[in-house]
Amino acid sequence: MSKPNIAVVPITKSREIHVQANEYKGRVELDIRTYVKSESYTGYTQKGIRIPTEKGSELIEAISKILEVLSP
């Protein structure tokens, strides 16, 4: 089961982060991947991470803490 992008975060003109919900080994997981657009290749790179959906709240908490630390 592959679903459309849940979110797309532009990084540069040719690079984005795509978030999808995909089924992997019978479990639905968040798939966060780098997507590139260039003359030689357009598509997903191997760079990314797959996170079980039940860990989503922990991921949000971790990102919130990172942003707190990095905020001036």
The H or E element containing residue 15 is strand 15-24
The answer to whether residue 57 is domain-embedded is: yes
Q: What is the pLDDT of residue 2?
A: 55
How is residue 63 written in tokens?
Answer: 């990102």
pLDDT tens digits, one per residue of 13-53 = 999 999 998 888 888 899 999 999 999 999 999 888 999 98
Which range marks the domain in which residue 43 is found? 7-70
Domain count, the chain: 1
Predicted TM-score (pTM) of the model is 0.78
The answer to whether residue 16 is domain-embedded is: yes
Q: Write the CATH number for 27.
A: 2.30.31.10
With a cut of 50, say whether residue 61 has pLDDT above it.
yes
